Amino acid sequence: MVLLQTLVMSVLLSMIAVMLMKWILSRYLLAARNYRATEAKSRSQGISADQFSRWNYQDMPNMAAIPTTGSMWVDGRQVNYSRSAASAGSMQFDVTVDED
């Protein structure tokens, strides 16, 4: 009788251990899947931002060739821009768009 009780207890404990490990593994897989999805989304947004920032990029060897202010029409909207003085390879552009 003791042998049967021992067998039943060992089977129950092993079933509990299997269920616990299954729960832990499912939580780990859920967290890993969420992490990979978030990582992929942030990388794709970073690549998109990088590509957008280099869209229609023109390398100007002479900063004096870039006008300090200007205006152009893009898709029926007027775009005004101005830039600060060029300093050691860095500039700041301020762009305003008239949507009227």
Q: Mean pLDDT of all residues in the chain?
A: 78
Q: What is the pLDDT of residue 70?
A: 76
| Both tokens assigned to 10 | 């060992």
* Residue extents of the structural domains in the chain: 1-57, 60-100
The strand pair at 93-98 and 69-74 is best described as unpaired
User: pTM of the predicted model, to two decimals?
Assistant: 0.40
Residue 82 CB neighbour total at 10 angstroms: 14
| Both tokens assigned to 61 | 């060897």
Q: Does residue 54 have a pLDDT over 80?
A: no
Q: What is the mean pLDDT of residues 60-79?
A: 69
* Cα distance between residue 86 and residue 90, in whole Å: 6
